[in-house]
Amino acid sequence: MKKYIHAPLILGAASTFALGIATPALAQETEASPDRSRVLQTIEVTAERRTESQQDVPISVTTIGGDMLSEGDYRSTEDLSQQVPGLQIKSSFSASNPTIFIRGVGINDFNPANSGAIGVMVDDMFYNSTTGQLFQLFDLDRIEVLKGPQGTLYGRNTTGGVLNIHTKKPGFEPGGYVSATYGRFNQLDLEGAANIPVSDKLSFRISGVSNTRDGTRDISFPDGTSAEKNTVDFQAARLQMLYEPNSDLSILGKVEYGKSSATSRSYESQGLINYTTFEYGLTDYDGVCGGRGAGVCADAFGYADDKDPYSGAENLKDTPENVESFTANLQIEWNLGNWDLTSVTGYLDTSREAILEVDASPNRLIEEYIDDGSEQFSQEIRLASDWEGPMSLILGAFYLTDELTGQDSFEILADANPTPGTPYFDAVNFILRTDRFYTQKTDTFAVFAQSDYELTDRLTATLGARFTWEERKLDHVAYAGPVDAVSLDGDMPVYATLLDTSNFGTDTLTFEEPTYRAALSYDVTDYVMAYGSVSRGFKSGGFNTGATSDPIEASIVKPEKLMAYEVGIKSEWFDRTLRANAAAFFYDYTDLQVFGLAPGAVPTQTLFNANEAEIKGFEFDVTSIPVTGLQLTFAGTYLDAEYTDFVTPIGQNFSGNTMVASPEWSLVARGRYETGPIWNDLKLVASADASYTGDQYFDTENTARLGQEAYWIANARLALTPESDRWEVSAFVKNLTDEEYTVDAYDVSDFGFDELVYGDPRTYGISLTYRFGNTR
């Protein structure tokens, strides 16, 4: 596949760059465009904390509008991976703790104590806790994906970029919408929103959503019963108030509550032991187990999972994952004459309880119980200049405090207990239960400034800097004792015999780090901009809360740092019927934090620093309206992401390996065609998209059997609507070819299997939407 796609893709990317430097006259718009309906809409973003055209911002930004989100039936942040090249969002849970990568920058750690390297902002508020970052998307205006370090203007840990999510705000004219979707697996999605203006100065907007779906995986149990897992059960409501007493002052308040009551993620067990040949299938992807190994090889207890990734057998019938989130946000914008003052006050409270069938088998090899939550308060104040002249300036300060408490428990090899149902442990065979308890407190404060200065009418220089002070404190203790613990004292298990107490105690880390950005942008013409930038990002150090019994596990990682160099072009052509953007980048990555599972009688979660890595790549994004009603998009990211100096604490040398979640190519092709009236005032809207994800690895060792070969995902939709867009009925299909693909994998080979996380199979359905009043 690779040799066939490389040549045209490289040619396409080169052509995009050539467009940007070709004869400037081609980009000039004629005095009277032949068909104004063909002009591409201006995309407004707040990537630099001001409302600007996306084409004027010297940053790589991909924007997905609210209409596109609803048309594509994109319900969660995980869906965005298929629409933004270079973006990977995955999770080993149903509705929490995503691991996010942009251009290969990210970390696989699924523990909530370790924030990722990609910042998540919702309505200008930084979401520190990963527990609340995977909630469903509803009533949105747009999502901006900012690529590259954003350590000057945004919150902590934005080494790789930012997901900037904007909900729809209240309006001063009544209006809203209601929509209903029914699809395969009894998918039932209900969503609605309404503006409720009280006066020309005060308005409310209320939004709500309910997303439910039966499971995509059929599970049988040892007693002969069965159930469906990988369900969806999410409800949320949002109330906003907008008060504008005059043209200089705007006050926006928001409260939001969401709850997910789905089942925990159901995994596929990839057996590694061939009991026919008595071989251990660890050598390669095909190995002695034949492809994925399911249906041929078994785990240490002899269980061979069904070769169909959407069916299997488990021991636990009840595996809930209950996640709750409450958010309060107050934004004040006040024009003070020469300055615009912005204040963003945020509060976020999240909690999660879950039971996981880790071994994905009818036996009790490994079972996990989770109970954690966090409480966050943040405050940001910004001053943005509002004067005439060649210089603009943004000054600001940011404060965040977050307290995370967690408990998780593992029962290991419970089926090997010679006295089932009664407490037992075996220090030799590791038949035991472990319990971890931790509290982590994070306090961070930062000041920042950024200035744009017009050196000439066409050349602008940008300089920005941020200085961050941070303190992180951890209290951590772990216990090990017999399986089948008989009683609890509050949340604390009471062991008949205590095998081990690992009091990791209290530790405090402090960091003082500068980050900065320098850029030059040059307007070649009114419709072509070239830019270059240098930026520094950092992710704070932290603790491994996955430690159980060995003090070596209780590692402390240093901050990771990234120097990014980027050049790019943004351009529009032929009376703005063609938009072509491209960028090339180089990342020098040091002390990057690496997470993984280490083999052992008790699966060990490891967290440490790799010395160095390098990421080289380029990306392109071309959108055109070749004829009235038809819009086409083709975008892609190429990555060469490599650990250049990486020796693990136990001496494994992974230097030269490809970085985790860094496919060489990721591509998106999209088309949308809207007819004129075909009968009375009715029209058809047809859309389709396809995304390509190249070969990738899910572990730093580049274990082939834990990787995923290249695959395509295609989606399609057809809608009927009147010219007024007052109502719409549509039919859609996602994963059109029913592609079977993994989005993550974990090495549990000492128990004879790997744990695989599969993406959704083909889904399809119909939707009905009705809009009333002023819908925009």
**Can you spell out the DSSP letters for 402-446?**
EEEEEEEEEEESGGG-SSTTS-B-BTTTTBEEEEEEEEEEEEEEE
Q: Give every CB contact of residue 309 below 8 A, 6+ residues apart in sequence.
A: 217, 268, 292, 294, 740, 756, 758
Q: Are 95 and 321 in contact (CB under 8 A)?
A: yes
Find out whether 572 and 527 touch, Cβ atoms under 8 Å. yes
- The verdict on residue 740 lying in a domain is yes
pLDDT tops 60 at residue 31: no
Residue 362, domain member (yes or no): yes
Other CB atoms within 10 Å distance of the CB of residue 463: 14
pLDDT of 740 strictly over 50: yes
The least confident of 414-418, 488-492, 701-705 is 488-492
Q: What are the pLDDT digits (tens) for 618-637?
A: 999 999 999 999 999 999 99
Long-range own/partner contacts, residues 79-83 (CB < 8 A, 24 or more apart): 79/137, 80/143, 80/145, 80/163, 81/691, 82/668, 82/689, 82/691, 82/713, 82/715, 83/668, 83/670, 83/689, 83/691
Q: What is the pLDDT of residue 179?
A: 96
Angle made by CA atoms 653, 656, 659, in degrees to the nearest 5? 100
Q: Across all residues in the chain, what is the average pLDDT?
A: 88
Positive/negative CA dihedral, 150, 151, 152, 155: positive
Structure confidence at residue 284 (pLDDT): 52
- Better-predicted residue by pLDDT, 679 or 170: 170
Torsion angle, CA of 413/415/419/425, rounded to 10 degrees? 0
Residue 280 inside a domain? The answer is: no
H or E element, residue 11: helix 2-21
Question: Domain for residue 149, yes or no?
Answer: yes
How far is residue 554's CA from residue 436's CA, in Å, rounded to a whole number? 12
Residues pairing with 585 in the sheet: 566, 617
High-pLDDT (> 70) share of the chain, % = 90
Is position 126 within any domain? yes
Name, in order, each residue with C-beta under 8 angstroms of 732's C-beta and a sequence gap of 6 or more: 72, 73, 183, 715, 716, 717, 718, 764, 765, 766, 767
Establish if 274 belongs to a structural domain.
no
Structure token digits, residue 35 = 């068909």
Q: How far apart are CA 631 and CA 37, in angstroms?
A: 11
Six-digit token pair at 59? 């940053």
Average pLDDT score over residue span 295-323: 89
The CATH number of residue 214's host domain is 2.40.170.20
Residues in the chain: 776
Q: Which residues pair with 346 in a beta bridge?
A: 329, 378
Listed range (14-18, 254-258, 401-405) with the worst mean pLDDT: 14-18
Closest CA to 696 of 95, 86, 109: 86
Q: Which residue type is seen at 573? A: W
Q: By mean pLDDT, which of 77-86, 203-212, 560-569 is the weakest? A: 77-86
Pairing, β 273-274 against β 268-271: unpaired
* Domain with 507 in it: 2-266+314-773
* Token digits of residue 577: 């019927």
| 481: in domain | yes
Residue 390 has pLDDT above 50, yes or no: yes
Model pTM score: 0.91
Q: What is the 3-state secondary structure (H, E, C) of 44-97?
A: EECCCCCCEEHHHCCCEEEEEEHHHHHHCCCCEHHHHHHCCCCEEEECCCCCCC
699 assigned to some structural domain: yes
pLDDT in tens, 526-552: 999 999 999 999 999 988 888 776 667
The whole-number average pLDDT for the span 760-773 is 95
Write out the two tokens for 695: 């070969």
pLDDT at 496: 66
User: Residue with structure tokens 């997905």?
Assistant: 64
Q: Is the pLDDT of residue 155 over 70?
A: yes
Tens of pLDDT along 33-44? Answer: 445 567 888 888
Quote the pLDDT of residue 295.
67
Q: Give pLDDT, residue 109.
A: 84
* In the predicted structure, residue 10 carries a pLDDT above the cut 60: no
As a whole number, mean pLDDT of residues 742-751 equals: 88
Q: How far apart are CA 484 and CA 425, in angstroms?
A: 9
pLDDT band at 11 (very low <50, low <70, confident <90, very high): very low
Asked if the model's pLDDT at residue 648 lies above 90, the reply is no
Average pLDDT over residues 164-190: 95
- Tell whether the model's pLDDT for residue 3 goes beyond 50: no
Q: How many domains does the chain fold into?
A: 1
Give the pLDDT score at 488. Answer: 63
Token readout for 419 is 């006295």
